[in-house]
Amino acid sequence: MTGCRVLALPGGNPAPLVTLAWALHGAGVRVAEVHAVLYASAQKWLHSELLGGVRPLDQLRDALGDPALATLIEHPATRDDGSLVEEDAAAADGEVYRETAWRVARMLQEDPTPLVFALVSGRRRTLVADLVVAFQLLARPQDRLVELRLSPREAIDPATGFYFPTQTSLARVQRYDMAAPIGAAEVRVEAIDVRVPRLRRLLPAAELATYAGALAAGEAAIAAGGNPIPRVDLRARTVAVGDTVATLSHDQMVWYATLAVARRTRPDGLVAPDDDALIARVFAACLGAWFREPQEMSDGWTFGELAHPERLRLRGPIRSRLRRDVARAFDGHPWRRMVVPQVRRAGTGADVRTMERLETPEIALCPRLQALCGEDA
């Protein structure tokens, strides 16, 4: 049996939290924890109906022989003054609730355990929408978006007393066309996976800090179109993300291609302007792509001797103009910071060195640059 944790925005009826844990267990998935993001009345009903009354969580654990199953962890959505929000209809309270749910999801995703986003919000359709959007923006390959299906559907009504089919407490479920009510054992329960587009790959990691920031970045990434992974093409002298393209000068392309190769081959991706060995290899690949001789390049490059092209030196103005031009081309784009070279300082005192790197965690290279990374085209 595999394990998971559940993230839920339970609304006013907490019963589906127990139902979902039962359904997933029947499908071979053990719910280790249930993380419930709560507004004021939702917390009240959770305490009175799940942790009190007929204690359905304890019934579930006894029925399945697992006393640690579905450990319930509460996450109250609180304002700055410590009070709980109630209605998400108010813009400020809705923002507090969404950001609380977002922080909980991000915290849970620090662990590789699959996270099930549970659609158990009942009549609070805004909570359903909030959780679906959070899933779209955050979901990893192992995460799931799940809805409960009960038949008859009237079993979802908290007045029926239904929690799961093998419960010991009494349940009375009656549909309008039934002659008599049925008990819990006759209710059929399924956990259904809901498929929606997963957009996390479109977003730079830096934009995942808040719900609002990720939502805006997602809209901008969709508007930008295409594959979100930056692409570097020597022959065309371009760096592109989706439909946004920056075309570089020959000299700028040498430095950018050097940074791109370092991003793929070095853990930190850092390159110093006097990193002769790497720059020389990239320079040679560039000349081959452009059918140029070394002396045909601008005076931004100087050589100890033309016979020893590994003695390259890259002057500062080329690098600063490169940063300016790429920043201008990607103005307003969600991946802007990821593709504009970032300046870093390494060392201390007299040993401080200026270095640069590309922040993007992924980058696609043309065949000539792939070969420099020891990869097949």
Beta strands in the chain (DSSP E): 2-8, 29-38, 71-76, 115-119, 144-151, 188-193, 231-233, 238-241, 244-247, 301-303, 312-314, 342-346, 353-357, 364-365
Confidence at 175, pLDDT banded by 50, 70, 90? confident
| 199-227 pLDDT per residue, tens | 887 787 878 889 998 888 888 777 766 66
> What is the average per-residue pLDDT within 158-168?
93
- Is the pLDDT confidence value at 193 over 90? yes
**The amino acid at 354:** T
151-173 b/e (C-beta count within 10 Å ≥ 16 → b): ebebbbeeebbbbbbebeeebeb
How many helices (H) and strands (E) are present in the chain, helices listed first?
Answer: 11, 14
pLDDT value of residue 330? 92
To the question of pTM greater than 0.85 for the whole model, the response is no
Show the tokens assigned to 100: 């609380």
Q: What is the mean pLDDT of the segment spanning 332-352?
A: 83
Structural domains in the chain, sorted by start: 2-198 (3.40.50.80), 227-372 (no CATH)
Q: What is the mean pLDDT of residues 268-276?
A: 89
The pLDDT tens digits for 52-84 are: 889 999 999 999 999 999 999 999 999 999 899
The Cα–Cα gap between 219 and 235 comes to 31
Only one residue has tokens 């500062």, namely 316
pLDDT given at position 307: 41
List, in order, residues 6 or more apart from 251 with CB less than 8 Å away. 297, 298, 300, 301, 318
